Chains A and B, each alone.
Chain A
Amino acid sequence: MSDLTKMSAAQLAKAIAAKEASAVEVATAHLDRIDAVDERVHAFLHVDREGALAAAADVDAGKRTGPLAGVPVAVKDVIATKGVPTTAASKILEGWRPPYDATIVERLRAAGTVMLGKTNMDEFAMGSSTEYSAYGPTNNPWDLGRIPGGSGGGSAAAVAAYEAPLAIGTDTGGSIRQPGAVTGTVGAKPTYGGTSRYGLIAFSSSLDTPGPCARTVEDAALLHSVIAGHDVRDSTSIPQPVPDVVGAARRGAGGDLSGVKLGVVKEFAGDGSEPGVLSAFHESLEALVKLGAEVVEVSCPHFQYALPAYYLIAPSEASSNLARFDGVRYGLRTGDDGSRSLEEVMSLTRDAGFGPEVKRRIILGTYALSSGYYDAYYGQAQKVRTLITRDFEAAWKSVDVLVSPTTPFVAFPFGSRTSDPYQMYLADLFTIPTNLYGGPAISVPCGLSEGLPVGFQVMAPTMADDRMYRVAAALESAVGTLTPPTLEATA
């Protein structure tokens, strides 16, 4: 493994700008690393070697510039990349090449980054383990027999396995933070509307939020600052300046948190987190107190209803968002042999194209929105959402951020939860309230439990993304970053 793949994005950007390394060298080092390890990790669904080398050559020739010029980045396959296959890890979109770039991809290009390829995920971002990818699971670099988290398991694993210094994920119920936690990387969900959804294949429109995956808090902030900002093509995008997340991360790395009030959610305490997770969390809290932070217990009485509310709202929106995949205009079409009706062809196409978790959620969402059930399910879930938002707003009156473990358990072995969807859904127990509220949250590695990474979550008020980076960077400065085992050793 070359040194170039071990460097942070910040270091790479500096080295390339100073001509100490060429962008082509950097891209080649990462592409070689992908060649060497991705057969075992399976973080990528598509590697765009040619496109990456061409983009890197343009950086070296001075044709492309920007704050992250020459820094490689991997993009979750749910985000449209012009001319580059985009499948959302579903059979129904196999081979589809979008005729346009997502806004955040345009911004990645404008920042000078070099796109390496598209990362694996749970199909249509539905899942917590990347076991629901139609193209096979991604393996956790820490233990290839365990899940890398989901749905952004590919993005997190690519970063953890040194295949890319940076990756883009999307977080609907925790899909950036939970994979970050179980792979020992940093994953941030920006404020909803802080990053554009234009070009992000919708799972749940009111929750989906693209955000950064990295190995350090500063790197995550750098990527965050590049992709965030108002987009006229997304009506829910917030027309306000991006908080100075990079500055906040650098300030936090200085290690001073005096005057910062951390809220610990009382209702999260009894939720059966693994003991190793809890002790890593409490040790981290102590480390933060040493940096001057104050810890306050906060009650968020409606957080306990977040999971059921989420599993009504997200599938409802998904059932509508995924209706467009019908075999009429693009993607897979099955059974069109001239003997079948339109309805039959649509039905056969959707049966063949969608995997089990996607079907489960489409059916659940269709049911929840049906007349006669709307008020009892979707309508009720929206009310719960309002109450959870009020819990957050009440909390901000007494604390600056809320903190919790990111997940109740470390990476579990493949297949151990797929037979019981509810057990799988618990993986997002601590991450989901933030999605229903819309504020930013980040997961930072905070130690190990049974040799596997544990994540520490920091949640902040909407558009206070900078505050969350400051606390996260302070924690990182105190506990250090985790070094995944090199895959050469485990091979």
Chain B
Amino acid sequence: MTTTALPTYEDAVSRYEPVIGLETHVELGTATKMFCGCRTDFGAEPNTQVCPVCLGLPGALPVANRAGIEATIRIGLALNCDIAEWCRMARKNYFYPDMPKNFQTSQYDEPLCVDGYVDVEVDGKQYRIGIERVHLEEDTGKSLHVGGATGRIHGATESLVDYNRAGIPLVEIVTKPVPGLGALAPEVAKAYVAELRDIIRSLGVSDVRMEQGSLRCDVNTSLNKPGEEWGTRTETKNVNSLRSVERAVRSEIIRQSGLLDEGTRIFQETRHFQETTGDTRPGRSKETATDYRYFPEPDLVPIAPDKAWVAELKAALPERPSSKRARLREEWGISATDMESVANAGAVELIEETIAAGASPAGARKWWMGELARRANETGVELAAVGATPAQVAALQKLVDEGKLNDKLARQVLEGVVAGEGDPAAVMNARGLGVVSDTGALTKAVDDAIAANPDIAAKVRDGKVAAAGALVGAVMKTTRGQADAKTVRDLILERLGAS
């Protein structure tokens, strides 16, 4: 590595033009694997979701899962791709212990979807990212190295392999090289992955969780001087958060520009992103390029999607998340920044459903982005899994609107709902949390308060109506917050002849 100081990012992008490209892997959420009937549940005991086919036992044969093909076509259509009328799976041959057959069933020169695009917005400006191809393949198993201090293969005494993941359908989305982004290349890369994630989530074909590896990203970066040919690219692997996509591109631009400034050649290599430092490190260097010896998979018949079926899938595509967000923002009357935080929290659909169940946009947003988002953060679960349904949140808001709950009591009811005690009305009744607005029941509390605070009562009688607040507070205290404040106030003024 060089001893001279690295240039600043601003310096780097003032002298060089970056070209980026992204390869994104998405694990599909099909119930069964791509080429056999094994289940795909996340987190199952190792090697409990395997069979002769996904273990690649001698004689076992793959049969394609129609749901995987359908999901891939839907992704392709959502990314504005052309769908192949006829294509084949191919074998990608290489030896690795977590790959049971020592070849991966994938696609090579005949991908299912080609030539699409995704539009993203950064700083109010639109950028079009070209999609080269979307293809289908199978995931590999996972190696676990035990006995060493680091969990890495180095120093381990044993290596174990879990094949539960082997054969889960994986979709690879490859962009065309994207030039002309200048200093914004890192932001556009991040916005692209975010947009891709939202689109795929809207299709319901994957849970696209980067932290669980169901969406994985490789980032290609190269630099060239203005007017010159594109430079040699490096491929940064294992980028597993949106923020890291941005950081990986940025640090690679800085690193490469430093080398180019010195006149050092950039080597085409695989690099690994370091979450802790934010920079990239070289992967295992290979003297020669791997030869995967691709050829058409003879165990599977070609895929020829029926035109009518593809048209049907296209017609049934959901609204694009970006336009949906724009539309909802309008309908809900919130700012772009607020909408962004709603989207980031994964709350768009939840709020939408809550509104559909009868809540006002403001009410729905208040619960999901306030109390429930806080709980989700604290417990580290997705908002959708926090324990309350849109219907329950709508019912809660309705109780508030009807005056049966005040804000404070509503929070307590929501706590019960999240704890699984039932719907809001049931929790309210079981916990005895309803607002008491029955004048008969409140009269005694009011009379007690007046009796206990003769000075204040006198002031109110004298016409200092504002002083009644203290008496209201006293009543609220004795009723543990369950009294309806307005009813109490009216009652006090009535009893003191000040109304």
Contact B63 A370 (CB under 8 A): no
Q: Which residues of B contact A346 (CB under 8 A)?
A: 95
Q: Which residues of A contact B97 (CB under 8 A)?
A: 326, 328, 342
Contact A323 B101 (CB under 8 A): yes
Q: Which of A200, A326, A343, A374 has the most CB atoms of chain B within a 10 A radius of its CB?
A: A326
How many Å lie between the Cα of A329 and that of B98 in the bound state? 10
Q: Which of A88, A234, A326 contacts B58 (CB 8 A)?
A: A88
Q: Which residues of A contact B101 (CB under 8 A)?
A: 323-324
Contact A233 B61 (CB under 8 A): yes
Q: Which of B57, B61, B97 has the most CB atoms of chain A within a 10 A radius of its CB?
A: B61
Q: Which residues of B contact A80 (CB under 8 A)?
A: 57-59
Judge whether A236 is part of the interface by a CB distance below 8 angstroms: yes
Judge whether B291 is part of the interface by a CB distance below 8 angstroms: yes
Contact A98 B291 (CB under 8 A): no
Q: How many A-B contacts if CB must be within 8 Å?
A: 97
Contact A235 B58 (CB under 8 A): no
Contact A205 B299 (CB under 8 A): yes
Contact B59 A370 (CB under 8 A): no
| A326 touching B102 in the complex, CB below 8 Å, given contacts A198-B60, A371-B291 | yes
Contact B103 A323 (CB under 8 A): yes
How many Å lie between the Cα of A96 and that of B103 in the bound state? 22
Closest beta carbon of chain B to A106's beta carbon, Å? 13
Judge whether A122 is part of the interface by a CB distance below 8 angstroms: no
Judge whether B179 is part of the interface by a CB distance below 8 angstroms: no
Q: Which of A88, A99, A197 contacts B57 (CB 8 A)?
A: A99
Contact B61 A198 (CB under 8 A): yes
Binary contact readout A346-386 vs B (1 if CB under 8 angstroms, 0 otherwise): 10000000000000000000100111001000100000000
Contact B61 A320 (CB under 8 A): no
Q: Which residues of B contact A370 (CB under 8 A)?
A: 291, 293
Contact B102 A316 (CB under 8 A): no
- Nearest residue (CB) in A for B53 is A233
| A233 touching B63 in the complex, CB below 8 Å, given contacts A205-B299, A323-B95, A326-B95 | yes
Closest beta carbon of chain A to B272's beta carbon, Å? 20
Q: Which residues of B contact A88 (CB under 8 A)?
A: 58
How many Å lie between the Cα of A88 and that of B293 in the bound state? 25
The prevalent SS among residues of A at the interface is: loop
| A206 touching B95 in the complex, CB below 8 Å, given contacts A198-B61, A326-B102 | no
Q: Which residues of A contact B62 (CB under 8 A)?
A: 235
Closest beta carbon of chain A to B54's beta carbon, Å? 12
Contact A378 B55 (CB under 8 A): no
Judge whether B91 is part of the interface by a CB distance below 8 angstroms: yes
Contact B293 A200 (CB under 8 A): no
Judge whether A265 is part of the interface by a CB distance below 8 angstroms: no
Within 8 A of A (CB), among B92-130: 93, 95, 97, 100-103
Contact B63 A235 (CB under 8 A): yes
Q: Which residues of B contact A394 (CB under 8 A)?
A: none
Judge whether B7 is part of the interface by a CB distance below 8 angstroms: no
Q: Which of B55, B58, B60, B295 contacts A369 (CB 8 A)?
A: B295
Contact A93 B58 (CB under 8 A): yes
The prevalent SS among residues of B at the interface is: loop
Contact A323 B61 (CB under 8 A): no
Contact B57 A330 (CB under 8 A): yes
How many Å lie between the Cα of A482 and that of B61 in the bound state? 38
Binary contact readout B126-150 vs A (1 if CB under 8 angstroms, 0 otherwise): 0000000000000000000000000
Q: Which residues of A contact B60 (CB under 8 A)?
A: 100, 198-199
Contact B299 A324 (CB under 8 A): no
Q: Which residues of A contact B293 (CB under 8 A)?
A: 319-320, 366, 369-371, 374
Contact B63 A369 (CB under 8 A): no
Judge whether A86 is part of the interface by a CB distance below 8 angstroms: yes
| A98 touching B57 in the complex, CB below 8 Å, given contacts A235-B300, A320-B103 | yes
| A199 touching B301 in the complex, CB below 8 Å, given contacts A316-B295, A342-B97 | no
Q: Which of A93, A236, A366 contacts B299 (CB 8 A)?
A: A236
Q: Which residues of B contact A410 (CB under 8 A)?
A: none
Q: Which of B58, B97, B299 has the most CB atoms of chain A within a 10 A radius of its CB?
A: B58
Q: Which of A96, A100, A317 contacts B52 (CB 8 A)?
A: A100
Chain B contact-residue range equals 20 to 34
Judge whether B64 is part of the interface by a CB distance below 8 angstroms: yes
How many Å lie between the Cα of A177 and that of B196 in the bound state? 56
How many Å lie between the Cα of A85 and that of B55 in the bound state? 19
Contact A324 B100 (CB under 8 A): yes
Q: Which residues of B contact A99 (CB under 8 A)?
A: 52, 57
Q: Which residues of B contact A317 (CB under 8 A)?
A: 295, 298
How many Å lie between the Cα of A469 and that of B60 in the bound state? 30
How many Å lie between the Cα of A369 and that of B108 in the bound state? 14
How many Å lie between the Cα of A400 and that of B61 in the bound state? 34
| A320 touching B301 in the complex, CB below 8 Å, given contacts A201-B59, A232-B63, A235-B62 | no
Contact B59 A79 (CB under 8 A): yes
Judge whether A202 is part of the interface by a CB distance below 8 angstroms: yes
Judge whether B56 is part of the interface by a CB distance below 8 angstroms: yes
Q: Which residues of B contact A293 (CB under 8 A)?
A: none
Contact B58 A378 (CB under 8 A): no
- Nearest residue (CB) in A for B103 is A320
- Nearest residue (CB) in B for A206 is B298
Binary contact readout A244-259 vs B (1 if CB under 8 angstroms, 0 otherwise): 0000000000000000
Within 8 A of A (CB), among B294-317: 294-295, 298-301
Contact B58 A86 (CB under 8 A): yes
Q: Which of A88, A235, A325, A326 has the most CB atoms of chain B within a 10 A radius of its CB?
A: A235
How many Å lie between the Cα of A343 and that of B97 in the bound state? 10
- Nearest residue (CB) in A for B92 is A320
How many Å lie between the Cα of A253 and that of B55 in the bound state? 47
Contact A197 B61 (CB under 8 A): yes
Closest beta carbon of chain A to B444's beta carbon, Å? 77
How many Å lie between the Cα of A197 and that of B60 in the bound state? 9
| A323 touching B58 in the complex, CB below 8 Å, given contacts A206-B298, A369-B293, A371-B293 | no
Q: Which residues of A contact B58 (CB under 8 A)?
A: 80, 86, 88, 93, 96, 98, 201-202, 324-325
Closest beta carbon of chain A to B166's beta carbon, Å? 11
Binary contact readout B280-291 vs A (1 if CB under 8 angstroms, 0 otherwise): 000000000001
How many Å lie between the Cα of A99 and that of B300 in the bound state? 23
How many Å lie between the Cα of A96 and that of B63 in the bound state? 24
Closest beta carbon of chain A to B195's beta carbon, Å? 35
Judge whether A287 is part of the interface by a CB distance below 8 angstroms: no
Q: Which residues of A contact B56 (CB under 8 A)?
A: 324, 329
Contact B95 A199 (CB under 8 A): no
Judge whether A102 is part of the interface by a CB distance below 8 angstroms: yes
How many Å lie between the Cα of A140 and that of B91 in the bound state? 39
Contact A323 B299 (CB under 8 A): no
Give 3 nearest A-B pairs by CB, closest first.
A323-B102, A205-B298, A206-B298
Q: What would 14 more interface pairs be, CB under 8 Å, given A79-B59, A202-B58, A326-B97? A: A80-B57, A98-B58, A102-B59, A198-B60, A199-B59, A201-B59, A205-B298, A205-B299, A233-B61, A236-B301, A319-B293, A369-B93, A369-B293, A371-B291
A-B contact pairs, 30 of them (CB 8 A): A98-B52, A98-B57, A98-B58, A99-B52, A100-B52, A197-B61, A200-B59, A202-B299, A206-B298, A233-B63, A235-B299, A235-B301, A236-B299, A236-B301, A320-B93, A320-B103, A320-B295, A323-B103, A324-B58, A324-B100, A325-B58, A326-B95, A329-B55, A342-B97, A343-B95, A366-B293, A369-B93, A370-B291, A371-B291, A374-B293
List chain A positions with a Cβ less than 8 A from chain B. Answer: 79-80, 86, 88, 93, 96, 98-100, 102, 197-202, 204-206, 232-236, 316-317, 319-320, 323-326, 328-330, 342-343, 346, 366, 369-371, 374, 378
List chain B positions with a Cβ less than 8 A from chain A. Answer: 52, 55-64, 91, 93, 95, 97, 100-103, 159, 161, 291, 293-295, 298-301
